[in-house]
Every structure is written in C-alpha cells, then in structure tokens.
Amino acid sequence: MSQGSTEKRTQLQREQETADTPDEDDLKDTLSWLSNYVQLLEREREIEFEIRVAHKKHICNLQNFNPTQQSLSSLFPTHNHFEVLEKEQELSEFFAERCGCKLEDATNKKDTTLNRFNWPKSYTNSDSQRKSKRLKRGKGKAQEDPTTSDQETKEGEKKEEIQVDTREELGRQEILEAQITTLKDQNRETADVAVNLQKLANGQNAETFTAARLEAKEGTTKRVVIPYRWNTQHQDWEVAVNKSWALIALAKLSEKVLAANISENMPLNAHILGPKEEWRKEWISPSGDIMVSDLRPYMVRFSMEAEIKEHLTWKPWKVVEAIPYGLLGGNITAERAAVAASIVEAHALFGDNETHLGVVLEAAARSIKLVYPKTHGSIPT
C-alpha cells in the first residue's frame, strides 16, 4: 500500500472521529448548564434539609424536651446538625458524611459497614485528584501515539477534561435528586400534622388569628420586624431571624434600634405591610388611655453585603414559610409572630424576582422614611 493512500486513510479516520465527537463548545455549554443545574439542586437540598431540622426541633418542643446547653452537647457531641439527624436515624449516612470530617471519626468507632448505603458516584473527589488522573491519561496517550502533534494532544486533553467533568456533574445530579426526594417525602409527612405560614395564609387555623388579636390587646407592644435581602448568588429571598428560629420583635423602628438589634449597615428601605383597617385596632382603656394593637410586620430590606448581629442568621424564605409556626415565637408569642409573617405570605411578597416585590410593596405597603447621614455607611448608635 502506497504512503499516499495510508495518509489519506489516516486523514479520513481523523475526520470521522471529529464528526462523531461532540464539538468542544457544545461540551462546554453542556457542562455549564449542568453546573448551574447542580447548584440549583444544592440550594433545594439545603432548603429541604433546613425544613427537616426545624421539624425535628418542633417535635422535641412538643415532647417538652428542653435540654440545657450542657446536656445537649452530651447527647449530640457536635455542632453539625447533619450528624444530629444521622444519629437519630432520620437520614442515610451519606447526608451526614457530606457535611464534613467530624462524622468520619464518629462512625469509625461503630460497626456500620453492614448497613452502609453506596451511592452511585462519590461526591467528595477533589479537583487536585481529578487533574492528576487526567495528566496521567494524557501522558499515556501521547506515548502511545508519538505522531500526534502537541496541538492535537492539548485539544484532546481539553475535551477529555470536559467530558470527565460532565460525567462527575451527572453523578452529583443523581445524588442530589435522590437526597431531595427523600427529604421531601419526610417533610411532607410531618407537614401534614403541623401548621405553617402557608396554611395560615390560606385561612386555615382561624384560632391562631383570634389568639394573636387577644394577645395584642393584653400583652407586649412589640411588633415583628422582618429584615430581608435578595440573595444574588442563589437568586432567591432570605430573611434574618434569631438562630433559635424566632422572628425579631421590636417595640419601635428607628435607626438606633436597628443598629443595636439587627445591623449597623444602612437598610435600603423600610415598609409596613398590610391594610391598616384589617390589622390595626384602637380602643380606650378603663383609665381613659388610647390603646393600639397592630399585627402588621415591619419589612426592612438590606443589601447582600450587610452584616447582621451574631445572634441572627439569614434563612431562605422558602424555609420559614414551610416550618411549624410554633418555632417563630420568641420575644412575642408564636401566634403573633405567625400572624405577622402570614401577612407576608398572603401577599406573596417574596416571589421569584425583585420586580414582583416592588409591585406588591407599592400596592399593599406604606413606606417608612428612615433618615441616615449621607456621608456614613452605617446607622448611628
């Protein structure tokens, strides 16, 4: 066979391989889409897990289980709530392992090999391990085919790297979807016997509203304050609550009060949400004083960069609206806190985008003007 025919056949084989192999740009687009989708699944899993944790805390409260900090640390010697759930056998080992190295030390002391569930793909491969494996494969191929040019070798390595990343992202997708399905099934079972903001906004459990109105007449003058922000990374709404899940309640809304209790950063705006006629009541006390009860919440928006006090934490609104409302009480009763938050849910304030929020605030809220120094980035104390 002549040298020319051999070269032509080699060229035809390469063209056929190129035609059968997806274009590098197409592979990159697929990988980019998969990565974004996996990030969405991770956020969804985080939300479902937070709901699960809240339900477990609510069950403990119903059982009158109020351990001190010392006894709690002896029962669950970890700050990792994934481990706590695993110890209660509510989720598979994988949920706990994924959270960190702490569980590994604990599980090594136990014989759990018989009940161990093997997921289809590891979620913990490091980038350095992937790169080293790809380099080894690339060197091996180069040695097998010394006639391959450096340019073709580099292009082949890039394609292979993208394909490996794609397979790994598909593995993550499969794991995440399995986890989310498990969590949703468990949350659905407990949600059926609990009352949350979604049910209150739909008019269920009318006695909660009655109790809130009575307590507002007889109890504290504090009102619910809901600091919120648009999470630019996850593209959803978050609200600041106490780490105990209790909503924030303040007697008044001023720059000094906000700085002392929520954040020293300047809020973007503030509103009172809900119709005054429905939620605000005035009456004259036996002593002749004018008394006022107002169940409407203060809505205070902060930027993504704002820092809140250490006793507070940001939680997705999708979590807060789905957990038992009994967890929301703190400085005020759970009923008052729940009714105030249910006004937010009833107005569907936290939709899928910022535009929707602006429309709702314009139609159903009254703006509160807070004056801050223009030359300073924080609220004066």
Mind listing the pLDDT tens digit for each residue in 254-300? 899 999 999 999 999 999 999 999 998 888 878 888 888 889 999 99
Whether 89 and 71 share a structural domain: yes
The answer as to whether 380 is a domain residue is no
For residues 236 and 347, membership in a common domain is answered with yes
Task: Check whether residue 149 and residue 177 sit in a common domain.
Answer: yes
CA distances from 88 to 92, 277, 282 (A): 10, 47, 49
Residues 122 and 242 in one domain: no
CA dihedral 210, 213, 215, 219 (to 10 degrees): 180
For residue 299, the cross-strand partners are 226, 271
Residue 317 lies inside a defined structural domain of this protein: yes
Does residue 166 sit in the same domain as residue 83?
yes
Both tokens of residue 242? 């106490």
- pLDDT of 59: 84
Same domain, 337 and 309: yes
3-state helix, strand, coil in the chain (%, to 5): 55, 15, 35
Residue 222 sits in the same domain as residue 182: no
Range of the domain at 62: 1-194
* Residue 205 shares a structural domain with residue 176: no
User: Average pLDDT of the chain?
Assistant: 75
**Window from 67-71, 161-165, 282-286, 293-297 with minimum mean pLDDT:** 67-71
The residue behind tokens 């985008």 is: 353
> pLDDT at position 80, please?
52
Higher pLDDT residue, 62 or 332? 332
Is residue 96 scored above 60 in pLDDT? no
Residue 377 in any domain: the answer is no
- Same domain assignment for residues 186 and 202: no
Q: Looking up tokens 């936290």, which residue turns up?
A: 350
**One domain for residues 126 and 245:** no
How many domains in the chain? Answer: 2
- My answer on whether 349 and 304 are in the same domain is yes
> Is residue 169 assigned to a domain?
yes
376 assigned to some structural domain: no
DSSP readout, 253-307? --HHHHHHHT-SBPPSEEEEES-HHHHEEEEE-TTS-EEEEE-PPEEEE--TTPP
Rounded percentage of the chain residues whose pLDDT exceeds 70: 63
Final residue of a structural domain among 194, 225, 249: 194
The residue among 166, 194, 222 that closes a domain is: 194
In a domain, 326, yes or no: yes
Decide if 381 is inside a domain. Answer: no
Residue for token pair 């499969």: 174
Residue 146 — very low, low, confident or very high, per pLDDT cuts 50/70/90?
A: low
182/70 same-domain check: yes
Residue at a domain's end among 161, 194, 227:
194
